[in-house]
Amino acid sequence: MLLDALLPRCCLGCSLLLRHAAVLELCARCAADTVALPSPWRCVDGITARFAYDGALAAAMTRCKYGADAALAGPLGRALTDDPMWSAAPDGQAWDLVACVPMHTWRRIRRGFDHAALMLSHAHRAVPRAKVCPGLLVRVRNDLPQASLPATTRRQNLAGAFAVARAAPPLAGARVLVVDDVTTTGATLREAIAVLRAAGAVASALALMRTLPT
Ligand SMILES: [Zn+2]
């Protein structure tokens, strides 16, 4: 945590050294094409998203996930903490647990890291809010990557893909936030929320970005 505080912060988009600390680590030029979602797109089906999937943030997320640049999970994760959903549940009460969408083991081995778990860890280090439990949900089926599928089959692909971990704390009545990097159709986070709600939790989701229809 001390090292985090001492390291200079660079723009996520263009690597320009930033003179001032900010939650969203972008220079003025890259920030200009980063769009906070307007209200109709901010919360859909219990899934809140902060930014449109576009511009410097989208490019940074792509480098993180597909360019194996794990260091970017730090600033991308910290950007989650600026959202009111990070602070409290919709009823104003503190979250009891914060989790993330699980990545299947073989995919994590191939990539070398789990970007959503790393983002969650960095967000919690920057602004601790709740008990963080990245392993709360597990992948019980090795579904196809959602990004490779058309919207119509994404929900079907995920049915039964997640389960609550055997070692999970009691969830009845617990306020649980699930975080992820990007939501497109919402199928992944809706499935995660459904599994948690079936276990008795009061679950909501927060994604850093939402893909908007073109
Ligand atoms: Zn920049």
Give residues whose Cβ lies within 5 Å of ion ligand 1.
11, 13-14, 16, 27, 30
Question: What is the total count of domains within the chain?
Answer: 1
In sequence order, what are the residues at sequence separation of 6 or more whose Cβ sits closer than 8 angstroms to the Cβ of residue 68? 111, 112, 113
In a domain, 29, yes or no: no
In a domain, 1, yes or no: no
Q: Give me ligand 1 centre to Cα 27, in Å.
A: 4
For ligand 1, the distance from its centroid to the CA atom of residue 18, given in whole angstroms, is 9
Within a domain: residue 171? yes
Q: How far is the CA of 23 from the centre of ligand 1 (A)?
A: 14
Quote the pTM value.
0.88
Is residue 30 a part of any domain in this protein?
A: no
pLDDT, one tens digit for every residue, the chain (214 residues): 455 566 778 898 888 888 877 888 999 999 988 888 988 899 998 899 999 999 999 999 999 988 888 999 999 999 999 999 999 999 999 999 999 999 877 777 888 888 999 999 999 999 997 799 999 999 887 666 666 666 666 666 677 789 999 999 999 999 999 999 999 989 999 999 999 999 999 999 999 999 988 7
Domain range enclosing 60: 36-210
Q: Looking at the domain assignment, is residue 26 inside a domain?
A: no
Element (H, E) at 68: none
204 φ, ψ to 5°? Answer: -140, 170
- In a domain? residue 84: yes
14 Cα: distance to centroid of ligand 1 (angstroms): 4
- Could you tell me if residue 55 is inside a domain? yes
CATH code of residue 161: 3.40.50
Instruction: Report whether 141 contacts 62 (CB < 8 A).
Output: no
Q: Is residue 44 part of a domain?
A: yes
